[in-house]
Amino acid sequence: KKSNIEYQYSLVYKYIRDDFEQFLESIDIDFKDEEFAKSVILTAFFEFCDEGLQ
């Protein structure tokens, strides 16, 4: 069973994945740079998740 923090991370990840264009707009990154933005954001997100779960 997932811990509460893992569940919260999964909700954030789902939001980012399901509506990526809106997410980019919310942090003021142009969608035309989608692949770069995905790479940077997902790397940062997973680093954040790893730190939070340790």
The count of domains in the chain is 1
pTM above 0.75, yes or no: no
- Written in H, E and C, the secondary structure of the chain is CCCHHHHHHHHHHHHHHHCHHHHHHHCCCCHHHHHHHHHHHHHHHHHHHHHHHC
User: What per-residue confidence (pLDDT) applies to 31?
Assistant: 62
Q: Where in the sequence is the domain holding 18, given as residue range(s)?
A: 4-53
Tens-level pLDDT at each residue, the chain (54 residues): 557 777 877 787 787 778 777 777 777 766 677 777 778 777 877 777 665 554
- Residue 45: the pLDDT is 74
